[in-house]
Structure 1
Amino acid sequence: MFDPQLFFSTLLTLFVILDPPGLLPVFLGLSRGMSAEARRASARNAAVVAFGIISVFAVFGRFILDYLHITIEALQVSGGLLLLLVAMQLLTGAGENETLESNTNIAIVPLGIPLLAGPGSIVAMMLAVESANGNVWGYVTVGLALVAAMLLVWVFLRYAGAIRQVLRDSGTVLLTRIAGMLLAAIAVQMLADGIIAFLRQI
């Protein structure tokens, strides 16, 4: 039967890792200049992309990583490098026009992956699936927790436009630069964690 404890523990873990409130500054910075409709589409697409990627790794994660001889640490380092590139764009404004031309770009990178579907959320879902112990209802419970987490992400991003209206253009520019700085720190932390984990294996 449905396991409430497994559901809420998985949901809470995913919510903390995904950190929807913390995504708001980044999302506002990346979507600056977009229309309200494009911003809503980006929020929806980012949640859908992240859901799809995390679901695939939840089911086939171990097989994929083992087959390609990829470690979680390698995912951390690659994700950190990708985030660092995006952070530099936010800080300097380089490539801003190209990024804003298509809502699909930011929905896939960096929102969908690696901010949402990153090493942390992927590993968390893989562990949650293993904790289901082959029970069908356990798998259903974990799946529902993932759906609930993605809905929460969508709600936060969906109503980010209301926050932007309060901040106006000047406030959004300031928030973009702050988001770039924070994103750079997150990227460096991901790189450091991955490198330290590599060194411990030596």
Structure 2
Amino acid sequence: MNDWISAFVFFFAVIDPVGTLPVFIAVTARHAEWQKRKIALLAVMVAAVILLFFLVVGQYLLETIGVPLSAFQVAGGVVLFLFALSMIFGEGKPEQEVGIVKSGHETAIFPLAVPSIASPGAMLSAVVLTDNYRFDPIHQFRTATAMFAVLGVVLALLLTAQWIYRFIGDAGASIVSRVMGLILASVATTNVLVGIQQFFAI
């Protein structure tokens, strides 16, 4: 159960459901309510397919091109750490991706499904948390259910986006994004340390 909770928190940090709310609201500002529900469903479904793809075949792709997972884990940890720093000190996820929306890319696929929900960090997490050499199929299945549980949270938040965002506002979304960034920085550091340890243990 602890492993499932850890995976859930990990995916919650990298996907950042609360940070997706401003993006969704900006994307759907001119749409009717039924269209907003359709866009939310489409965005989450596309993100789920992308993350499931990385969860199932991501490691095999790495092995095919000769990249050990330990090296990918270290590189990914560094990238995640830099991403976390940008969430903490720079523009948060909402500000960055609302800027993308305002540049004209107003679709459910971009920037909602990618990179807001299925972010690079989420794709990396799907690979690292299902390492075939560290985790058995049962553990990998639990990780997948944790990922889909977070996507369920994303869908629930998007379907109630107007009410929630009216309650927390820009400041609330920014605070949540920075707290998630701090958690993500800790997770990224752990990934780097574990990746280095595994690499020299080979």
Query: TM-score, structure 1 length as denominator?
Result: 0.61
Which one of the candidate residues 15, 24, 40 is aligned to 1:31? 24
Query: After the TM superposition, which residues 120-139 of structure 1 pair with which residues of structure 2 at under 5 Å, given as runs?
Result: 121-126=126-131, 131-132=136-137
Distance 2:6 2:183 in 1: 18
- Per-residue Cα deviation, 1:114-173 (whole angstroms, up to 9, x for no partner): 454342x3334455xx7349xxxxx9x779948953762453233341433642xxx411
The equivalent of 1:55 in structure 2 is 52
**Closer/same/farther in 2, CA of residues 67 and 191 from structure 1, 3 Å limit:** same
The equivalent of 1:72 in structure 2 is 73
Which one of the candidate residues 118, 121, 134 is aligned to 1:112? 118
Is 1:177 the counterpart of 2:178? The answer is no
The equivalent of 1:89 in structure 2 is 91
Distance 2:189 2:143 in 1: 31
Greater alpha carbon shift after TM alignment, 141-150 vs 57-66: 141-150
The one-letter code sitting in structure 2 at the alignment partner of 1:110 is: S
The equivalent of 2:149 in structure 1 is 149
SS at match of 1:31: helix
Q: Please, what is the CA RMSD of the aligned residues?
A: 4.4
Q: What percent of counterpart residues are identical?
A: 15
Unpaired runs of 5+ residues, structure 2, are none
- Per-residue Cα deviation, 1:12-49 (whole angstroms, up to 9, x for no partner): 675454339x9342122433534365764664344334
Corresponding residue pairs, total: 185
More helix by share: 1
Per the TM alignment, residue 174 of structure 1 is displaced from its structure 2 partner at its CA by 1.0
The one-letter code sitting in structure 2 at the alignment partner of 1:89 is: E
The one-letter code sitting in structure 1 at the alignment partner of 2:26 is: G
Unpaired runs of 5+ residues, structure 1, are 1-7, 134-138
Greater alpha carbon shift after TM alignment, 38-47 vs 103-112: 38-47
